[in-house]
Structure 1
């Protein structure tokens, strides 16, 4: 496996072109998890600026922070279940390596969302429909998560030299956590209501209320 290059965009290039070098860095180099976390935070913060452009104002402050910390929190929440699921399926990687595989997938998700950001920004300047923009962002998120979670599965398979059973079920769990987090941190679209949590609400009920409105 090639070594991970040095530089601010090295992790970005490696995730897109040579994930094996990131895997090697997780196993052999100190600071690899920190570099992956930084890639995640920066990419989602930039995506958040694009999302915030729909409403403007204080959302330019709130949305980037909510997206970056919210998705990172989802990874932390789901890490124990990923490690347990994989170990029960016969995996032998350490908790650090499981964390690295998860961060690789989530960081790739952030980069894919960043790639879609110009398209989302264009539509945010062309429409006032919260429902349409919400559906657009959910579509981009679904595609990005699918590819990101696929990288998690491939990375764990590479670590164990065999596919890990049951990870598709865990992937569904992760997506549900992300969707609920997006509702908990609402509004990501629309006028700012402060940085605190809103009233408890199931994400599906929230979507129905937006559609009905």
Structure 2
């Protein structure tokens, strides 16, 4: 079946019982405490066993598939795995559920932040939870998110986590698939896309609100990463 659904990524978090799946022709059994992650464009099917309780999230967005590939790489290609950070993963999914249940869906900006936090948990939590390197990258991401729309440099972030800029950049790229600069730019563009579709702020106002020092720099960056100008995106969101 084709449609918008089939262009998304699916996430299951198994709370109890077991789920039987077939992903790209490979049988998979997911049990309590495990996460299942798969691309809906690829062949899949699943069935419930007695006592199954699970949470699901269907999502898409800028750079989601890059995150998806990096998460699978971090888990040795497995699409079913037990994250070290299962409790906070459950909490983030619960925030989505609570908003939908109350018919008060979180704003696009909040959804974007929650989804990004969730993907970082799945990417950074596996295997190296107690390593100094992983802890510093997680600390750096928190710092970058707090200061995302301020004048911030890679040197500022590396100093925050007590690493040299070059060493920090290598570690960040190895763990996330992005350079620190790329991460900052993509998060700013996520925010800009939300403001373009949800407010009447001018392109110049949005440029300064998202940390750019000029409308020209913002427009160039937006065109480069999204493929169309901010003005055209406002008319035809993609």
Under TM normalisation by the shorter chain, which class is it?
Answer: 0.3 to 0.5
Determine which structure has more spread, i.e. the larger CA radius of gyration.
Answer: 2
- Identify the structure with the greater helix proportion: 1
TM-score norm. by structure 2 comes to 0.32
TM-score norm. by structure 1 comes to 0.34
Query: Which of 1 and 2 has higher RCO (CA within 8 Å, sep 6+)?
Result: 1
